[in-house]
Structure 1
Amino acid sequence: MTHIEKQTLRDLHRPGWRGTWFVLGFGSLFYGLVAATAYCLSAQLYWALVPLIVANTLLSHSLVIAFHEAAHGSLCPWRPLNEYLGRVIGLQAFNSLTLYRELHHWHHAHLGTPRDEEFWPFTDPAQPRWKRRLAAVGELLFGTLYTPVLYLRALVRSDSRIRVGRSRRLMIWAEVLAPFVVWGGVAGVALWYGVFAYFFLGYLLPAYLAGNIQSWRKYIEHIGLTGDSWATLTRAIRPPGWHGHVMSESVLHEPYHDLHHRYPKIPYESLPAAAKVDPPRSDDVPVFPSYRAALVDLLRDLGDPKFGPAWREENVPMPVVHAEIA
């Protein structure tokens, strides 16, 4: 790598305010559509409900990705605001920013290994196929609830790798319990006043669908890959044309997820420029033109979901066969 390229990468690592404006804009639009959903339901404009719910689902998914950026500290250059926005989004997405950050560190530091607990049980060859299939069904159909349970497992199990002080552990538990207290209270009030349908269509259903989209995208990016590097463990997606760029921008350039694993501290808005400096290597892993094309590749592996170099044939331990004594 030349000196000019190194300087370019240094410049790309400087966070800007684009992510902050993204959250404020998409968040305002989300609650505006919640109000529009309530109005259409009260006015019996049922034909408008489906497009409103679809739009709010996509907005919710984009905000979940912004939560990921906040966990990296690159959503906003002012740290207190970055943490505040991350916790507000986490409250809406039933996620703890502090706990997610702890687990996500292991995901980047030990991608695809048994220490990558974001992808348990798929990174552990000791786990039977039926358990991995059951986990995939749970995550892909009930992602909004499955994900907090997965993270809690990593926190409370006896040999947990999460080592935090008392204050941070209290923060984790506060962030874990807050969504259930807040939204449980809102649901109770909605039931009491007979307006639960408004709450369900305006928030619960889009949140449920967004959680599933998040899980499918997570699987598309990693499940089925058994390489030994960031390039061979992440599907590279580069949608062409202006419409592809708009789609990529709307999901904070998640299609550049391979480069995110190479440069995890680069803010999302700089990933397209980073791709010009360090383009994907098609000899390591194919470059897909869309998530749809990458989904087809995932579906070939979904019957036996696995992830990581431990699944390579030379690394999978052979079963012990006990010969009978004549």
Structure 2
Amino acid sequence: MNEVRALLGREELLMLQRKSTWKAAWMLLVNWCLIAATFALVIARPGIATVALAMLVLAGRQLGLGILMHECAHRSLTPSRPLNDWIGQWLCAAPVFADLLIYRSYHMTHHVKTGTQDDPDLPNYRGYPVTPASLARKLLRDVLGLTGLKAAATLAVLYAHAEPEKLRFGYAYKKQSAESAAMDGDSPGTCKVRHLLWNARRMLLIHALAFVLLWACGHAIAYLLWPATWLTTYMVVSRIRNAAEHGALPGTVSQDIWSNTRTVLAAWWERLLFAPNFVNFHIEHHLVPTVPSYNLRRMHRLLRDKGVLQQAHVAGGYVQVIRSLVSKR
């Protein structure tokens, strides 16, 4: 924080950290309106083309809800903490098969341990760059749903744990063996169905309500779009977003924020897919995690105008990032 105070004045920092209920409401409204419009399009004009388009748009919106959950994990979305947690839990986390409290514990570790072996996000970004063939295989597994099925199995193990917030690598979507679960404070015998049902209760309720709503409208089958997207196209955009934040950088496995974190200047279509809700301003977020995402663009401009970002890794778009994720060998 001392470094940040040297970069930004006290008034600038206070201004950037100011939370707005209206800005939060607008971001939430935009995300959910796009979701509703996408379902309406498929219902009105069912077909291969509309379903394919819907699964791209919904992938970006599932990531968008995940980013809003991330904001709520930092308690930076709204000025009211109870409202922040309610929104994060019910309107953001539960729809994307996550739990705010479990995620908060996981994500705070990432901020403290970025670039170290103790960073729970490290498996998502340390392997880059990779060969073109390797990246192609990864993306093919994502599109075919193989990555998604593995992630779903990992979440099932996570939520079947008596104390899932203690599983350090839970939301890294890495399969937990009995041994690794025990290392994180569990034993195989404590992973039970009753824990699974209890920890997933909010998700089960939200998804049941969504199914009933679509069933009441006469289009129950449309519900399948949501889990199908999560299992496939969402895994693609999530992979690229994860790798873009810390992957293929000189200091990826260091704790130097200027060499292990990347900001991406995203085009409008990239913001729809890979960078919803200003998540692309990642250096700025790591510098001051308490700045709401709707203020990160302003923070970026302030730092840029002060010449601070000359030492930072700022990519010109996600196409450029994807190129950097592929090695020349």
Superposed CA RMSD in Å reads 4.2
3-state SS of the aligned residue for 2:98?
A: coil
Could you tell me how far 1:264 is from its partner in structure 2? Answer: 0.5
Could you tell me how far 1:102 is from its partner in structure 2? Answer: 0.1
Deviations 1:205-243 (A, max 9, x none): 333322431222111211232343112111222247xx5
Contact kept, 8 Å, 1:221 with 1:235, in 2: the verdict is: yes
Q: Which moved more, 1:29-38 or 1:250-259?
A: 29-38
Instruction: With the length of structure 2 as denominator, give the TM-score of the two structures.
Output: 0.68
Q: Which has the larger radius of gyration?
A: 1
What amino acid is aligned across from residue 70 of structure 2 in structure 1?
Answer: H
Residue 66 (1) aligns with residue 81 (2) = no
Alpha-carbon distance in 2 for matches of 1:79, 1:271: 20
Deviations 1:19-71 (A, max 9, x none): 22211232133123213322323xxx555443333333322222221111111
Alpha-carbon distance in 1 for matches of 2:272, 2:139: 27
Alpha-carbon distance in 2 for matches of 1:37, 1:269: 30
2:11 aligned to which of 7, 10, 15:
7
Residue 28 (structure 2) aligns with: 23
Alpha-carbon distance in 2 for matches of 1:251, 1:297: 21
Residue 205 (structure 1) aligns with: 228
What amino acid is aligned across from residue 298 of structure 2 in structure 1?
Answer: A
Unpaired runs of 5+ residues, structure 2, are 128-133, 159-166, 171-179, 187-193
**Cα gap change, 1:36 to 1:73, in 2 (>3 Å):** same
Equivalent runs, 1:198-237 vs 2, <5 Å = 198-201=222-225, 203-208=226-231, 209-224=233-248, 225-237=252-264
Contact kept, 8 Å, 1:237 with 1:290, in 2: the verdict is: yes
What amino acid is aligned across from residue 51 of structure 1 in structure 2?
Answer: L
1:99 aligned to which of 99, 102, 113:
102
Could you tell me how far 1:93 is from its partner in structure 2? Answer: 0.5
Question: Which has more helix, going by share of residues?
Answer: 2
Deviations 1:68-123 (A, max 9, x none): 11111112222222112211221111111111100100000111212211334866
**Cα gap change, 1:288 to 1:54, in 2 (>3 Å):** same
3-state SS of the aligned residue for 2:277?
A: coil
Residue 292 (1) aligns with residue 319 (2) = yes
Could you tell me how far 1:186 is from its partner in structure 2? Answer: 7.4
Alpha-carbon distance in 2 for matches of 1:119, 1:239: 23
**Cα gap change, 1:25 to 1:287, in 2 (>3 Å):** closer
3-state SS of the aligned residue for 2:9?
A: helix
